[in-house]
Amino acid sequence: MKTFSLEIVTPIKVINEESVKYLRCPGVDGSFGVMHKHRNGVFALDTGEVKIETNNGTSWFATSGGFAEITEEKVELLLESIEKSNEIDVKRATEALERAKARRKNIDDNVDTIRLEASLSRALNRLKVSKK
């Protein structure tokens, strides 16, 4: 199977992955997959899981959104954050989920509900991906 290169860029790290067979990303309009010679495009990404298939197996990552730039030979993900499934701190993610749930129960006019829902979504996503 033909492959492509993947570069993942966050504010704190860069991950280069050669020989990617398949990539699935959480687009804001739904998940989408990428294979070699995919049509060029730029896509907005949402909080969700990123699946990367290489000749060495499948890896899962949690992301909190960003953008994907796709060309025939390369995909570049510009992300707010990314964590590999086996590197997610489950205790920290659980604590973040509990904090978000507690804030949700005590909503008042001073609470930014959009940020609250985003925190809840990120924590749930991290816990889900940590099990893969």
DSSP state for residue 110 in the 8-state scheme = T
Domain that holds residue 12: 4-85
Output the pTM of the full model.
0.85
| 70 and 37 together in one domain | yes
pLDDT over 70 for what percent of the chain?
97
Domain count, the chain: 2
Question: Are 54 and 94 in a shared domain?
Answer: no
Contacts of 74 (CB under 8 A, 6+ apart): 4, 5, 6, 7
Residue 120: CB atoms within 10 A of its CB come to 18
Q: Could you report the per-residue pLDDT of 71-118, keeping only the tens digit for each?
A: 988 999 999 999 999 999 999 999 999 988 888 887 766 667 788 888
Are residues 41 and 66 located together in one domain of the fold? yes
- Tokens (6 digits) for 14: 């860069």
Q: 43 with 71, same domain?
A: yes
Which of 41-50, 51-60, 62-71, 107-116 is the least confident region?
107-116
> What was the pLDDT predicted at 57?
94
> Over 90: is that where the pLDDT of 17 sits?
no
* DSSP track, 9-32: E-SS-EEEEEEEEEEEEEETTEEE
Same structural domain, 11 and 62: yes
Q: In degrees rounded to 5, what are phi and psi of residue 62?
A: -100, 135
| Amino acid symbol at 42 | V
d(CA 103, CA 117): 10
* 15 and 74 together in one domain: yes
Show the CA angle centred on residue 109, arms to residues 105 and 111, nearest 5°. 60
Q: Average pLDDT of 53-80?
A: 94
pLDDT of residue 35: 94
- Domain match, 53 and 75 both: yes
- For the chain, give the mean pLDDT: 92
